[in-house]
Amino acid sequence: MIASPSAVASRGIETDKRARTAAAALAQRPSVDTVWHLLILFARYRVVIAVILALMYWGFQRFQVLSPQEPALAGWTLALYFIAATATMAAAHARFPAVAYHLTGQVVLDVIAMTLLMYASGGVKSGIGLLLLVSLAAAGLVARGRHAFFHAAVAALAILFEQSWQFLSAGTAASDFFQSGLLAGSYFVIAGLGFTLAKYARGAEQIAEARGVDLANLAQINELVIRDMQDGFVVVDEGGVIRQHNRQSESLVGGLAKSNERALVDTAPTLAKLLTEWREDPQRIFAMLRDRDTQRDYQVRFVAVGDQTASPTVIFIEDAGRIRAQAQQMKLVALGRLTASIAHEIRNPLSSINHAAELLHEESGRRPEDQRLLAIIQENSHRLDRMVQEVLYLNRRDRAHPEPIDARSYLEQFVRDFCANEKILAEVFALQIETSQRPIFDRSHFDQILWNLARNARRHGSGQPNSVTILLRHAADADNLVLEMRDDGPGVTAEALAHLFEPFFTTDANGTGLGLYIARELAEVNGARLEYAGTQLRGSTGTAHAEGACFRLTIKGERISP
């Protein structure tokens, strides 16, 4: 099914709205996967720090890298810190508990462990408090505003509390409070910097993701347009290799099937030759071509992407049959409007001529020659009137009001009316109804189609009883019905078959050539399909008949409720 431009545009707008909504949501929080990835990295860093501090404490005591004043407290703290760090790393991999609780737990663990190690190593002068800067910076990259500064406040209070305890219990100098205050202040600075950097990083990530959504949206729209476009296209690089093409190009040029990454000269040598000629003469206009495999006519147009001589080229392949059909449709629309206006002007004087002929015919004492001339006038007046009626139907094909029709009663009444109007016996028609479904159709359109088909069948049939058969049956799918109009005449010749439904084509000297054309137009308006089904060998009465024409009308059906 071919999508309309408005449908494609609406789908693109809807996708764009979803993209904007997603971008707005991203602006409120960082990606969950990114947060957990950072938490896992920080947990690994914590394990590494615990191992390094343990090696410094137990492996390098003689170098006095760490000089704990409370060896037992330092040993237990390092051991428990390593265990807790390993547990937080496992929890981060398991994504438990929630991000906010997990992050706060990591910061609190670092603050407690580093504060105890600072106390065991002599206070702020040991430099262990600087390790909290890394933890707070990492927390600031993940946490949102107030959480980052809350973590910094917890660390600052712990440092000041530890310094106060040292001052009261160990009698350290009061000047150490200045260093502790500077360290506590640096915690807030680092937390703010970390949060600010994270904010900028998240902004860049959001912009990149929004651009990615826009690009995906644009790619989706392009794919829809390329897939639903009626013309074929082929993208050929500067080396003559096919990079991309759509399905429509395969239906027009048979060699393009599965031709991506193959040379154009190998798959479609005609197109390759035309491309070479176009590069030599860009102003050249190429004539219509016919593909040998698909037997379809097409025209080509070349557009260079960059430099014409050494750049990729887009080959547009236009369906010449569709172009001809559009031109013919436009011609018929204009012709229909013209003929309708002419028909209205002809109808009034035609009625006057016919009425005058009838009045003259009623007068007595006319010579046989005069009576014959009056009959000719009346006959041709009726013919012209029928032609005017058919021309006027060209402008009524969009006025359809489909409704369920009782097939049996409608067709029986149609046969009676047709035989009375055409002055033939009703035995000429054999009516066969093999379904209880009701066709959905506009009554006036249905009558016009059946009248045209029945008139053709009567004219070309033998006129014997059962020489024309009207059959209504189920189609292959249960939702449709098939109405067939068959006759026992010679059928349609191969020469006439190609032009059967064209307007103004007729094999009858007295015909207008609009009957079958109008019938097909009215069928399409009602969602039906009229086609010539070929010759049929009938034997409804047990006697073999000659092969005749068969017109098939596929109609939507409605099942009658039990």
Q: What is the pLDDT of residues 449-505, one digit of tens each?
A: 999 899 989 888 888 999 999 999 988 776 789 999 999 888 888 778 877 887 777
DSSP 313-325: EEEEEEEHHHHHH
3-state secondary structure 459-503: HHCCCCCCCEEEEEEECCCCCEEEEEEEECCCCCCHHHHCCCCCC
Q: Which of 391, 357, 397 is nearest to 374 (CA)?
A: 357
- Tell me: the pLDDT tens digits for 103-117? 888 899 999 999 998
The pLDDT score that the predictor gives to residue 392 is 66
Kindly indicate whether the domain formed by 232-322 is annotated with CATH number 3.30.750.210: no
The pLDDT score that the predictor gives to residue 84 is 92
Poorest-confidence range of 134-148, 282-296, 429-443? Answer: 134-148
The pLDDT score that the predictor gives to residue 547 is 67
Q: Is the pLDDT of residue 417 over 80?
A: yes
Question: Helices marked H in 170-298 — which ranges?
Answer: 176-228, 247-252, 264-267, 269-280
Where residue 535 falls among pLDDT bands split at 50, 70, 90? Answer: low
The pLDDT score that the predictor gives to residue 503 is 73
Where residue 64 falls among pLDDT bands split at 50, 70, 90? Answer: low
Q: Is the pLDDT of residue 256 over 70?
A: yes
Q: Is the pLDDT of residue 102 over 60?
A: yes
Maximum Cα interatomic distance, the chain, rounded to a whole number of Å: 153
What is the Cα–Cα distance from 174 to 163, expressed in whole angstroms? 9
Poorest-confidence range of 51-60, 102-111, 277-286, 547-556? Answer: 51-60
3-state secondary structure 170-183: CCCCCCHHHHHHHH
Amino acid making up residue 187: Y
Poorest-confidence range of 136-150, 194-208, 387-401? Answer: 387-401
Q: Is the pLDDT of residue 83 over 90?
A: yes
Q: In the chain, pLDDT over 90 holds for what percent of residues? A: 14
The larger pLDDT score, comparing residue 369 to residue 418, is at 418
Where residue 433 falls among pLDDT bands split at 50, 70, 90? Answer: very high
In contact, 402 and 526? CB cutoff 8 Å? yes
Q: What is the mean pLDDT of residues 152-169?
A: 88
- Tell me: the pLDDT tens digits for 196-217? 887 887 788 788 888 888 888 8
Q: Which of 104, 115, 72, 109 is nearest to 87 (CA)?
A: 109
The pLDDT score that the predictor gives to residue 332 is 65
The pLDDT score that the predictor gives to residue 118 is 87
Where residue 29 falls among pLDDT bands split at 50, 70, 90? Answer: very low
Domain residue spans in the chain? 23-211, 232-322, 324-393, 403-558
**Beta pairing class for 429-433 and 468-474:** parallel
Beta strand spans in 403-479 (E): 403-404, 429-433, 438-441, 468-474
Tell me 305's DSSP state. Answer: S
Q: What is the mean pLDDT of residues 10-21?
A: 47
Q: Is the pLDDT of residue 241 over 80?
A: yes
Three-point CA angle 38, 42, 46, nearest 5°? 170
**Other C-beta atoms lying within 10 Å of the C-beta of residue 148:** 27
In contact, 277 and 269? CB cutoff 8 Å? no
The larger pLDDT score, comparing residue 291 to residue 413, is at 413
Q: In the chain, pLDDT over 70 holds for what percent of residues? A: 82
Tell me 292's DSSP state. Answer: T
What is the Cα–Cα distance from 338 to 344, expressed in whole angstroms? 10
Poorest-confidence range of 167-171, 245-249, 342-346, 401-405? Answer: 342-346
Whole-model pTM: value is: 0.43
List of long-range contacts for 64-73, beta carbons under 8 Å, 24+ apart: 66/121, 66/126, 67/121, 67/122, 67/126, 68/117, 68/120, 68/121, 69/120, 69/121, 69/122, 70/119, 70/120, 71/120, 73/116, 73/119, 73/120
**CATH number assigned to the domain covering 403-558:** 3.30.565.10
Where residue 260 falls among pLDDT bands split at 50, 70, 90? Answer: confident
> What's the mean per-residue pLDDT of the chain?
80
Tell whether the torsion through CA atoms of 276, 282, 285 and 291 is positive or negative.
positive
Where residue 66 falls among pLDDT bands split at 50, 70, 90? Answer: low
What CATH architecture applies to the domain 324-393? Orthogonal Bundle (1.10)
The pLDDT score that the predictor gives to residue 365 is 66
CA R_g for the chain: 45
